A and B are shown apart, each in its own frame.
Chain A
């Protein structure tokens, strides 16, 4: 009886419906889960966690560590025994739980991340006087402040030391800015000037027109630049010396005291003394640094500003290139072409453009744009710089062109959708009033379709912003020496290599020597990229929704 009921239940299809429902459930939970994971991990990175003092009792000795908890896991006890037989494990427990402590001090007491067996921990507490210092190199320093020495004077201790430290770091920050201004301003200008003179000479030599008057002018210019260089360099030396004036003495958790030159410090804070608002303030300033500053330490610290900037530049240039092409193709398909074999062929081509793997575009871009087109441009217009390539090397222009080709289908499909929705009556009305086909197109059809063109552009931008594989071949680098846009003629440097958020994720996550230290930054970068791309997509969806509403009213 019960068996027959179950059989009947199976025959009704109900179980299959549940299984199908589960498939949707899995897909949706995967999307939400991934977004949550990135969101939580990405946002928690900037929070100034408490610094805890952890006392450990190992098999032989006792140690004290100072650091931030960053993770925990539990593994089968057997695997822990096999991996590390010297560690005694208590009793019959099946699993061992371990916690990951970020101890910093990579230079003084490596490693900077340690797995600690939970049962080794004797005690933990949060000492109020613990200080965390973010450094230019070697990551964070954790310890206790003993004293601060200003200009080789008497060391200052106590509360005065804290004030002196904060003031010293602020001073160093300003000096550092002026040093970098010198380096990137005056000195770089001199170097660029010298390079221009060299190229001008070579261009003359290649053309066979060496004019003594010209040569004299160049020589004058050269001496002038060299004098400028000497001035700038002495100024730079002075600033650099002044930068290294002060130092702080810090006691580490193992009792050693180390001397930290303030020139190496970026920020210092007492996390355990911070109020919630203090922490929020610190959080905001960390976030600001992340968004506006250049990376340090092989991209594992500092900000990602050049990557944001490079991504935006590339994407803008690409959208300028792709939109006309995509719109014209869509107009042809919808408005001009007679539906038939040729249109079907074009549709197959569009689908293939959308379906060809992005890496193939990268290969094509490298071979055709960079080496073939770029190489030819160099031969024709920049012979004096050869053999150093100007356009015959991966760069911004080629990356944008490659991605423009890749995103053409997105624009075509979206524009076509918009064109389809425009009621026939509107066009016929225009033609009936005596407008030519072109006039109907420019005055009636395209303006009406413009929101869907915009939608297509946004979707293309979203696609391009997330694409990495082709860029690895045609212009992205892990660290670009200069932004592709600056105050120097011709302002937009299409030949420069650039940084990109997506590639940054790949590079920092997989190519950096210290993955553990880099991981939070990769999550934060991922979060930013996901936010941008999902934001763009949602904008496109909303635009499309409003458009639908408008056409519905038009038809009604």
Chain B
């Protein structure tokens, strides 16, 4: 009985012991697991950015008309639309090809259908008697949780075609209030028509019609950005750009060639926003052209090429992004993206030769027609807009004169080209860290040398925790003081403060020389207290500098140093600048560096110092030749850890700079760092979007930088510890 109980007790003790061992072991592993989890989670979010696209054939069906003049897909990529020459519009489900509804738009036969640019879902049909405008609308209704969509057709300007006379190629551009038509008369005359966008059903009132004779003949007319520009293009690739913004009086601004000499232009297609034209030629290339303005005026610039291994035949621009699809003469489709200069997929479209194709607004479906057949392809192409080049190299963005590094993530509308270059942010991060280290390194290391080696023990007992407690000071307070107290103070007393900093070292030396004149008894007694004795001197220097600052400013910089900086040196002065960040972040980093460096110097084995002194070296010689040499790995590791902190610090840079992503080493200008950028933009970015993932990439880069610094520092420290142990 008792034996049994003892056995149970022993059993219990053993179980508890084993459990504890397991649990504690788990806890140790959990630390590594935590850091690994952070790394791999960030990586997992970032990874989709660099995946290539997939294109999969799903449904095939017979076309309702032969051939379909226009194909389109609704906003939710559920319903397809085809308009045939017989004047019938057919809506069908993309998932299985079944008919949803058909509408007879006109009795006349149709020769061409044009999608109006600007507003969604407006199409213009060309019949024998003129142009017929139609709008499509998708009415969504719910029956319980069952969602159903009913397509509708409306005639905004009545169901009789408008007679606009004889027209060749034409385009329609719709703004909030008006509709513009630009077309070519067969006799090489440009016609511009503009009228109010009347509410549905009201009779149309023609506004202005403008007929402009052209010197050259053209085959294609394309509206430019905001409907204020017009591209006229002929079959050989000659382009003429007109400014039609002013009173609709066209003014030619540029004339040039879109394809190289002796090359043939195969297709031309405008991209979203109409800033860019995609031009395909018979050298198996697609070129992106856009209008730029430099000191010589406007010109079309070839921003980038896409090389393929076959002749591009059809160009299809994505309706909401700067991407496009190319169908080549081997009936393959290539998905490409302009900003990133990337081709994300190349897939065969099958046996049937593609005649017409369209991408859905979300660019997740491709609808193609050919030989009386329609086929649907599912596209998975989430982040074609990012590539290593787009992230780190200069990119030629639409409308820019030359390739630049730029971070501009927010988009007011779809036509905006997001600029995700991490280079300016990396630059800002390094710039902030550089100025912070410039302030912190000398102060912290020199301070550590004095504290560990020369300072009186009584003073050291107070000074060391005093400086270390600064590490506990919340950075948000340092940032607040830097932004709202130091920045205005520095701006008002720029010359005085810089002057004080300049004369500080000579003043200290002068004071030290004068100190030597005191009786030896006093200097000996105070030898460990220099750090306190010097403080009033420095305060006096600072006050003196601030006092004479305005006089110097008047004498040397005609009373306004900031204006002088700008006019003489070309340096702009921001109130919240790198200098402010350097000082504030320097203060934040000093305790980190100071503490580790001080430990390293203080920990130098005593017998090394004694040996050196016994051999006749002075204290200073011993410090310079023995102590610092021995402690240098520790000081190095302190600097590394300090760097890591400066690189990742958020609140100070957020509050003490203007957070503009400029790339300029000027210490009187601000910057935008990775960390501040994350704090500002991440809460507002769409989860899973490109912007969100790029921000995670920035976090990952930050993680890796600091990981490198910290790991090196820790390895160095571990070795140093072993060495001190062996000495």
Write the residues of chain A forming the contact surface with B, with a CB cutoff of 8 angstroms: 6, 9, 12-31, 34, 37-38, 73-79, 82, 94-95, 325, 328-329, 331-333, 335-337, 344-364, 366-368, 371-372, 405, 408, 412, 436-439, 441-442, 462-463, 465-469, 472-473, 502-503, 505-506, 509-510, 515, 519, 522, 526, 529-530, 533-534, 537-538, 541
Contact = CB atoms under 8 A, between A and B. Distances in A.
B560 interface: yes
Contact of A469 (B467, B650, B703): B650
B714 to A, nearest CB: 4
Nearest to B484: A509
Contacts of A519: 484
Interface string B613-639: 000001111011000000000000000
Contacts of B654: 469, 506
Contacts of A21: 450, 454, 530-531, 533-534
A209 B515 CA distance: 92
B644 A17 contact: no
Given A17-B620, A541-B465, A466 B472 contact: yes
A328 B550 contact: no
Interface in B708-722: 709-711, 713-715, 718
A529 B477 contact: yes
B479 A357 contact: no
B411 interface: no
A336 B24 contact: yes
A209 to B, nearest CB: 16
Interface in B503-547: 504-505, 508-509, 511-513, 515-516, 530-535, 538-539
B480 A522 contact: yes
Given A20-B449, A31-B469, 17 more contacts: A18-B508, A24-B450, A29-B539, A34-B478, A34-B481, A347-B718, A358-B648, A359-B678, A364-B41, A468-B651, A469-B475, A473-B682, A473-B683, A506-B480, A526-B481, A530-B473, A533-B473
B678 A13 contact: no
Interface in B282-324: none
Interface residues of B, number: 118
Nearest to A371: B687
Given A24-B447, A473-B679, A510-B655, A31 B466 contact: yes
Across chains A and B, which 7 residue pairs bring their CB atoms closest together, nearest first?
A: A357-B648, A13-B620, A78-B559, A466-B474, A328-B27, A332-B28, A21-B530
A358 B710 contact: no
Contact of A23 (B443, B511, B623, B655): B443
Given A350-B31, A357-B649, A362-B678, A436 B13 contact: yes
B535 A94 contact: no
- Chain A contact residues, majority secondary structure: helix
Contacts of B383: none
A349 B30 CA distance: 10
Count chain B CB atoms within 10 A of each CB in A22, A76, A463, A503 and give the residue with the most: A22
Contacts of B474: 465-468, 502, 529-530, 533
Interface in B577-628: 587, 590, 594, 618-621, 623-624
A424 to B, nearest CB: 18
Contacts of B623: 13
A408 to B, nearest CB: 7
A76 B560 contact: yes
Contacts of B508: 18-19, 22
Contacts of A345: 32
24 contacts: A13-B618, A16-B620, A23-B446, A23-B450, A24-B446, A31-B467, A76-B550, A76-B560, A329-B30, A349-B35, A352-B35, A353-B34, A357-B647, A357-B648, A359-B699, A360-B38, A362-B679, A437-B17, A438-B19, A438-B20, A505-B480, A506-B479, A526-B480, A534-B473
Contact of A357 (B24, B504, B530, B675): B675
B618 A75 contact: no
B571 interface: no
Interface in B10-28: 13-14, 16-17, 19-21, 23-28
B663 interface: no
Interface of B: 13-14, 16-17, 19-21, 23-28, 30-32, 34-35, 37-38, 41-42, 45, 442-447, 449-451, 454-455, 463, 465-467, 469-470, 472-481, 483-485, 492, 504-505, 508-509, 511-513, 515-516, 530-535, 538-539, 550-551, 553-554, 558-560, 563, 587, 590, 594, 618-621, 623-624, 641, 644-645, 647-651, 654-655, 675, 678-679, 682-683, 687, 695-696, 699, 702-703, 706-707, 709-711, 713-715, 718
B463 A359 contact: no
Contacts of A335: 24
A201 B359 CA distance: 42
A468 B476 contact: yes
Contacts of B534: 18, 21-22, 25
